[in-house]
Amino acid sequence: MSPQTVPTETIKQITHLAAALKAPRITESAARLADHARDAGWTHEDYLAAVLEREVAARNASGAQLRIRAAGMPAVKTIEDFDFDQQPAARTPVQALASGAYLTEHRNVVLLGPPGTGKTHVASALGVTAARQGHRVLFATATDWVARLGEAHDRGRLPAELTRLRRYGLIIVDEVGYLPFEQDAASLFFQLVSSRYEHASLILTSNLPFSSWAGVFGDQVVAAAMIDRIVHHADVIALKGASYRLRDRGIDTLPSIKAEQKSLD
Ligand code: ADP
Ligand code: MG
């Protein structure tokens, strides 16, 4: 049967049924694939599978786009954009993380390194990868997380908020240590870490080595308990060297940068 002889009623019905399924794309793919199926002599089953497959692929792609947008990453970066020649030691561990196995195992990732070495880039790229793999992701700086949890706490809704956040397969906490926490903030952050421990993954980035985290959390005991939970099941990746932002500018030897690098070596 040539496309011209398909009854208009049937096409109308497909359009109507696709809309009822909230899959309007099916109208277009059904018509296009029908011509192809007739030419290629597909079985009915081949044809149905091809139409459904297009719809599922389109849904997955738009679901990933929605999850990437909802995650609040500062910029959409990818693993492919990352120049591992600048960070050769990170290549194997980061590429292994891209498989997403750490998410189903509820393991964490800690990215340490001086400013400009790609911590936020790698964290965001892993966020994008996780979203593409079907996980819900949320990205914010440590300061923003504390503000958000503080708000929930003030409304008496902290436990509910922590439970809700567990439905996110990945939470990214960027810039731990850029600002020291107040004691209340440290306690909120500790609760976030505890609530996700062995339930769902965290990615943390910090310009400070673990040995300086006590200063950030204002308390040796809280810092130790937190690091213990974070690192128990974690990949810790140290990014090294001069800032990628300042490369080729001849200013990667500023004394402050040298000092920061030293603290991480
Ligand atoms: P950090 O969070 O460690 O301070 P960023 O991840 O923000 O550093 O990196 C600073 C900028 O340099 C970003 O635009 C990032 O995409 C880029 N960048 C850093 N390292 C690399 C790299 N190895 N390959 C490609 N781009 C990089
Ligand atoms: Mg950063």
Could you list the beta-strand ranges (E) of 39-129: 108-112
The mean per-residue pLDDT over the stretch 242-248 comes to 82
The mean per-residue pLDDT over the stretch 24-30 comes to 92
Nearest to 242 by CA among 228, 231, 256, 253: 253
H or E segment at 150? helix 142-154
Looking at all shown ligands, the one closest to residue 241's CA atom is 1
Residue 129 makes CB contacts below 8 A (sequence gap 6+) with 78, 79, 97, 98, 100
What pLDDT does residue 108 have?
Answer: 97
- For residues 76 and 68, the answer to whether their CB atoms sit within 8 Å is yes
- pTM of the entire structure? 0.82
Instruction: Indicate the top mutation candidate among 121, 174, 264 to test ligand 1's pocket, ranked by most ligand atoms within 8 A of CB.
Output: 121
Q: Is the CB of 67 under 6 A from ligand 1?
A: no
- For residues 202 and 108, the answer to whether their CB atoms sit within 8 Å is yes
pLDDT digits (tens, 9 = 90+) for 107-155: 999 999 999 999 999 999 999 999 999 999 999 999 999 999 999 999 9
Q: Closest residue (by CA) to atom 5 of ligand 1?
A: 118
- Does pLDDT of 194 surpass 60? yes
Question: How many CB atoms are closer than 10 A to CB 51?
Answer: 22
Q: 75 C-alpha vs ligand 1 centroid, how far in Å? A: 11
Nearest atom in ligand 1 to the alpha carbon of residue 175 is 2
Burial label, 33 (beta-carbon count in 10 A; 0-12, 13-18, 19+): buried
Position 251 confidence tier, pLDDT thresholds 50, 70, 90: low
Residue 2 makes CB contacts below 8 A (sequence gap 6+) with 38
Residues in the chain: 265
Looking at all shown ligands, the one closest to residue 244's CA atom is 1
What pLDDT does residue 262 have?
Answer: 47
Tell me the domains of the chain and their CATH numbers. Answer: 3-68 (no CATH), 72-264 (3.40.50.300)
Q: 242 C-alpha vs ligand 2 centroid, how far in Å? A: 14
Nearest to 235 by CA among 211, 194, 202: 202
